[in-house]
């Protein structure tokens, strides 16, 4: 009894190259998709945290008005008192906050301030702050969010626009 061997050839060089290119394209697509999803989730997290801080600021602003403008109601440290802080210095170089405007009440909120305001679950990384303006209810995040266009956005209004632009 004689066994005949079939002519078996392995993959040709062309087939191997095509397979490698297809696998590389799939890996690239998966990594790209994962990075985009992470960026979207990060944007949503930052936006949610800023909205929570803004809601609390609106409540405090209402109390401030009811209390006949008693500054003790306002939570945080006056921005003017923290101008020497390195994080604040860097933030002020990036942003165009009008610190000299009469009606502006900029305050810096750190982790302890957030906990006093029952916002302990709001994320605040080390060496970052939220800056709030109690008259206009504007909220800023000193770290900001770097969007896919390479620009960093710090204000809630700008970050909300990023999301709406992203959904179009």
| Average of per-residue pLDDT across 23-27 | 97
Residue 8 lies in a domain: no
Backbone φ, ψ for residue 123 (5° rounding): -75, 135
Residue 26 lies in a domain: yes
For the chain, the residue count is 168
Residue 105 lies in a domain: yes
Helices (H), the chain: 13-66, 86-94, 111-116, 156-167
Across all residues in the chain, what is the average pLDDT?
A: 84
pLDDT band at 165 (very low <50, low <70, confident <90, very high): low
Considering only CA atoms, which of 160, 164, 117 is closest in space to residue 139?
Answer: 160
| Average of per-residue pLDDT across 106-122 | 90
- Asked if 104 contacts 98 with a C-beta cutoff of 8 angstroms, the reply is yes
For the chain, give the percent of residues with pLDDT over 90: 29
Q: What is the pTM of this model?
A: 0.76
Per mean pLDDT, which range of 5-14, 19-28, 159-168 is the poorest?
159-168
| Average of per-residue pLDDT across 153-161 | 87
Q: For residues 55 and 33, give the distance between their C-alpha atoms in angstroms, rounded to a whole number.
A: 33
Residue 7 lies in a domain: no
| Average of per-residue pLDDT across 4-21 | 77
- Asked if 75 contacts 117 with a C-beta cutoff of 8 angstroms, the reply is yes
Considering only CA atoms, which of 152, 149, 126 is closest in space to residue 140?
Answer: 152
**Which residues constitute the domain of residue 64?**
13-167
Residue 3 lies in a domain: no
Q: For residues 141 and 159, give the distance between their C-alpha atoms in angstroms, rounded to a whole number.
A: 10
| Average of per-residue pLDDT across 100-108 | 81
| Average of per-residue pLDDT across 61-84 | 80
53 burial (CB, 10 Å; 0-12 / 13-18 / 19+) is buried
State the pLDDT at residue 167.
44
For the chain, give the percent of residues with pLDDT over 70: 85
State the total domains in the chain. Answer: 1
Residue 161 lies in a domain: yes
Of residues 115 and 3, the one with the higher pLDDT is 115
Residue 61 lies in a domain: yes
* 3-class SS of residue 6: coil
Considering only CA atoms, which of 71, 136, 145, 134 is closest in space to residue 108?
Answer: 134
Residue 141 lies in a domain: yes
pLDDT single digits (tens) 40-60: 898 999 999 999 999 999 988
| Average of per-residue pLDDT across 7-26 | 85
């Amino acid at each position: 009894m004689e066994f005949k061997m079939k002519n078996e050839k392995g993959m040709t060089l062309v087939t191997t190259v095509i397979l490698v290119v297809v696998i590389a394209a799939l890996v690239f697509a998966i990594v790209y998709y994962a990075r985009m999803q992470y960026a979207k989730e990060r944007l949503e997290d930052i936006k949610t945290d800023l909205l929570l801080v803004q809601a609390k600021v609106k409540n405090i602003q209402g109390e401030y008005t009811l209390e006949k403008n008693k500054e003790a109601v306002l939570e945080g440290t006056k921005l003017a008192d923290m101008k020497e802080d390195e994080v604040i210095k860097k933030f002020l170089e990036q942003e165009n906050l009008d610190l000299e405007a009469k009606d502006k009440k900029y305050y810096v909120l750190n982790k302890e301030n957030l906990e006093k305001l029952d916002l302990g679950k709001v994320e605040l990384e080390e060496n970052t702050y939220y800056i709030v303006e109690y008259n206009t209810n504007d909220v800023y995040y000193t770290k900001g969010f770097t969007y896919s266009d390479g620009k960093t956005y710090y204000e809630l209004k700008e970050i909300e626009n990023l999301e709406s632009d992203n959904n179009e």
